[in-house]
Amino acid sequence: MTNNSFYYAYSPNLYRHLKALGFRYICTGLNESTMRQFWQYERTPELSTALMSYAENKPAK
Protein backbone atom coordinates (compact mmCIF):
# COMPACT_ATOMS: atom_id res chain seq x y z
CA MET A 1 0.00 0.00 0.00
CA THR A 2 1.16 3.51 -0.75
CA ASN A 3 0.74 6.60 1.39
CA ASN A 4 -2.13 7.57 -0.96
CA SER A 5 -3.98 4.50 0.31
CA PHE A 6 -4.51 6.24 3.64
CA TYR A 7 -6.34 9.30 4.89
CA TYR A 8 -5.19 11.06 8.07
CA ALA A 9 -7.82 12.96 10.02
CA TYR A 10 -6.54 15.58 12.47
CA SER A 11 -9.96 16.98 13.42
CA PRO A 12 -11.69 15.49 16.47
CA ASN A 13 -15.00 16.63 14.96
CA LEU A 14 -14.27 14.74 11.74
CA TYR A 15 -13.23 11.69 13.75
CA ARG A 16 -16.56 11.76 15.63
CA HIS A 17 -18.46 12.21 12.35
CA LEU A 18 -16.75 9.22 10.76
CA LYS A 19 -17.23 7.13 13.89
CA ALA A 20 -20.96 7.93 13.89
CA LEU A 21 -21.12 6.70 10.29
CA GLY A 22 -19.49 3.42 11.29
CA PHE A 23 -15.98 4.00 9.97
CA ARG A 24 -13.16 2.44 11.98
CA TYR A 25 -9.67 3.85 11.98
CA ILE A 26 -6.60 1.69 11.36
CA CYS A 27 -4.50 3.37 14.02
CA THR A 28 -4.14 6.61 15.91
CA GLY A 29 -1.03 8.51 16.92
CA LEU A 30 0.56 11.88 17.51
CA ASN A 31 2.18 14.03 14.85
CA GLU A 32 5.82 14.34 15.93
CA SER A 33 6.04 18.04 15.00
CA THR A 34 2.75 19.34 16.36
CA MET A 35 1.86 16.66 18.94
CA ARG A 36 -1.69 16.70 17.53
CA GLN A 37 -3.58 13.42 17.52
CA PHE A 38 -4.50 11.90 14.16
CA TRP A 39 -6.59 8.95 13.04
CA GLN A 40 -5.55 6.89 10.02
CA TYR A 41 -8.20 5.47 7.69
CA GLU A 42 -8.01 3.37 4.56
CA ARG A 43 -9.08 5.39 1.52
CA THR A 44 -12.23 3.91 0.04
CA PRO A 45 -15.00 5.31 -2.16
CA GLU A 46 -17.29 5.25 0.90
CA LEU A 47 -14.79 7.28 2.93
CA SER A 48 -14.46 9.80 0.10
CA THR A 49 -18.24 10.22 0.04
CA ALA A 50 -18.34 10.73 3.81
CA LEU A 51 -15.53 13.31 3.63
CA MET A 52 -17.30 15.26 0.88
CA SER A 53 -20.54 15.21 2.89
CA TYR A 54 -18.71 16.44 5.99
CA ALA A 55 -17.02 19.27 4.05
CA GLU A 56 -20.32 20.40 2.53
CA ASN A 57 -22.15 20.43 5.87
CA LYS A 58 -19.60 21.62 8.41
CA PRO A 59 -20.24 25.06 9.87
CA ALA A 60 -18.20 27.98 8.53
CA LYS A 61 -15.54 29.38 10.84
Query: What is the mean pLDDT for each group of 10 consecutive residues in the chain (61 residues)?
Result: 86 96 98 97 97 88 66
Which pLDDT belongs to residue 49?
97
Say if residues 50 and 56 touch (Cβ distance below 8 Å): no
What secondary structure letter does DSSP report for 44? -
Backbone angles phi, psi at 50, to 5 degrees: -65, -40
pLDDT of residue 60: 72
Within 13 A of 37's CA, how many CA atoms are on the CB side? 9
Q: How many CB atoms lie within 10 A of CB 25?
A: 16
Positions of E strands within the chain: 6-9, 27-30, 37-42
Three-class secondary structure of residue 60 per DSSP: coil
